[in-house]
């Protein structure tokens, strides 16, 4: 059990409070030193005039500021772990980040909508082990098999057409990367129990390898996986906008003959892929969603019991106590600053008359 701060970025507010406190302390010292030099004594003056310079009102304000600063840090006492048993399947998401995902036949773009739906899907895959592969002309495993949905969501949210530098749509490399993830995540299963593995392909289906489907089928049989496909885009397609770093439209993508490229979703390829993988096919268009339907199909697959995993559980949060304490001292500051000054107005006048005399 230990005490720690959940939001360390707010430590700057606490540092500011220290500097403010130091400023008023130094101010108090200098004023007191000057008064002693001019009057020879600070006893009578310190009790009255100096009270406004650095008295209880300033102290209450500094304490309130300090309490609010600590509350922003979100202090937590203790951090424990608990054992969690879960069951599910092993799943790898193959996400297409080729340039054709720029197409805006689904507003604002295929890539944007596909990422949004994938994030929604991940929230429904808790308990399963999920990996992530980004692919275009090549492929890169971005996340190994994990149950950390938060980390996976971060990876998905950062996907762009710059994630893979080589352009194109290479499904062979994508399935090869998925195979690597599956092989590195082998589990010791009881005799007679078989791991259920699946791949979800999120793509517009445009490809440049005529043998891609046959090669993918080879991987499907070798790994014994189920394949679910999501076709992103419309049959009518759209042009591919080219934008600069600030997001301004510079024109549209052209081929080698200077003709504007029109990208259309290849539904037939993706349907064939899911058929050979004994899975389901979904089309993602404007206003449609595949997350809930796909989760329903995945739940129908045989689930296995994963090993116990330890997950961190945060202890008790104390920021509320600091907020209430800060509000209390803020109220005292108002009372000291305004009410006390009003009640002692006559006394202050006598002190001022004494100073002038």
CA angle 22, 23, 25 (to 5 degrees): 65
The answer to whether residues 111 and 218 belong to one domain is: yes
Asked whether 137 and 170 are in contact (CB, 8 A), the reply is yes
The answer to whether residues 204 and 279 belong to one domain is: yes
DSSP 100: G
DSSP lists the bridge partners of residue 313 as 80
Torsion of CA 334, 338, 340, 343, to 10 degrees: -150
The answer to whether residues 196 and 116 belong to one domain is: yes
The answer to whether residues 293 and 155 belong to one domain is: yes
d(CA 56, CA 338): 12
pLDDT tens series, the chain, 357 aa: 444 444 444 556 566 666 666 676 676 667 666 766 665 554 444 444 444 444 556 677 777 877 777 777 777 665 555 565 678 889 999 999 998 998 988 888 999 999 999 999 999 998 899 999 999 989 999 999 998 898 999 999 999 988 998 888 889 899 999 999 998 887 766 666 778 899 999 999 886 666 788 888 888 888 889 999 999 999 888 888 877 766 677 888 887 778 888 889 999 999 999 999 999 999 988 777 788 899 999 988 888 877 655 555 455 677 788 888 888 888 877 776 565 555 555 555 555 555 555
Residue 178 belongs to domain with CATH number:
3.40.50.410
The answer to whether residues 12 and 153 belong to one domain is: no
Domain count, the chain: 2
Tell me whether the omega of the peptide bond preceding residue 108 falls within 30 degrees of 0, making it cis: yes
The answer to whether residues 228 and 271 belong to one domain is: yes
The answer to whether residues 162 and 252 belong to one domain is: yes
Domain span at residue 348 reads 3-79+315-356
pLDDT value, residue 142 = 94
3-state secondary structure 254-274: ECCCCCECEECCCHHHHHHHH
The answer to whether residues 137 and 265 belong to one domain is: yes
**Cut 0.75: pTM above it:** no
The answer to whether residues 91 and 53 belong to one domain is: no
Alpha-helical (H) ranges within 2-42 are 11-39
Contacts of 163 (CB under 8 A, 6+ apart): 97, 134, 136, 140, 142
What digits encode the pLDDT tens for the residues 51-96? Answer: 444 455 667 777 787 777 777 777 766 555 556 567 888 999 999 9
The answer to whether residues 236 and 123 belong to one domain is: yes
The answer to whether residues 67 and 112 belong to one domain is: no
Dmax of the chain from CA atoms? 105
Asked whether 148 and 118 are in contact (CB, 8 A), the reply is no
Kind of pairing between the strands at 139-146 and 129-135:
antiparallel
Q: Using the 3D structure, point to which of 267, 290, 307 is the last residue of a domain.
A: 307
pLDDT value, residue 157 = 93
The answer to whether residues 70 and 171 belong to one domain is: no
């Amino acid at each position: 059990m230990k005490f720690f701060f959940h939001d360390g970025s707010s430590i700057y507010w606490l540092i500011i409070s220290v500097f403010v406190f130091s400023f008023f302390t130094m101010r108090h010292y200098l004023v007191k030193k000057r008064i002693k030099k001019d009057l020879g004594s600070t006893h009578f003056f310190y009790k009255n005039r100096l009270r406004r310079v650095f008295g209880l009102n300033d102290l209450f304000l500094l304490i309130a500021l300090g309490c609010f600063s600590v509350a922003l840090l979100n202090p937590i006492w203790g951090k424990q772990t608990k054992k969690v048993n879960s069951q599910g399947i092993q799943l790898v998401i193959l996400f297409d980040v080729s340039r054709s995902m720029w197409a805006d036949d689904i507003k604002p773009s295929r890539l944007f909508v596909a990422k949004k739906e994938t994030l929604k899907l991940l929230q429904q895959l808790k308990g399963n082990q999920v990996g992530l592969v980004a692919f275009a002309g090549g492929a890169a495993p971005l996340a190994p098999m994990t149950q950390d949905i938060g980390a996976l969501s971060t990876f998905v949210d950062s996907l762009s057409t710059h994630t893979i530098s080589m352009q194109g749509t290479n499904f062979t490399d994508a399935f090869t990367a998925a195979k690597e993830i599956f092989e590195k995540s082998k589990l010791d299963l009881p005799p007679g129990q078989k791991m259920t593995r699946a791949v979800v392909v999120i793509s517009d289906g445009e490809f440049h390898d005529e043998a891609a489907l046959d090669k993918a089928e080879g991987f499907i049989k070798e790994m014994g996986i189920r394949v679910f496909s999501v076709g992103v885009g419309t049959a009518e397609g759209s042009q591919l906008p080219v934008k600069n770093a600030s997001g301004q439209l510079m024109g549209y993508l052209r081929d080698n003959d200077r003709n504007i490229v029109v990208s259309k979703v290849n539904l037939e390829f993706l349907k064939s892929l899911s058929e050979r993988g004994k899975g389901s096919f979904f089309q993602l268009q404007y206003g449609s969603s595949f997350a809930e339907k796909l989760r329903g199909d995945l739940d129908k697959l045989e689930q296995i019991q994963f090993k116990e995993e330890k997950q961190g559980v945060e202890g008790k949060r104390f920021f509320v106590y600091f907020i209430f304490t800060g509000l209390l001292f803020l109220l005292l500051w108002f009372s000291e600053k305004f009410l006390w000054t009003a009640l002692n107005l006559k006394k202050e006048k006598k002190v001022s008359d004494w100073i002038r005399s």
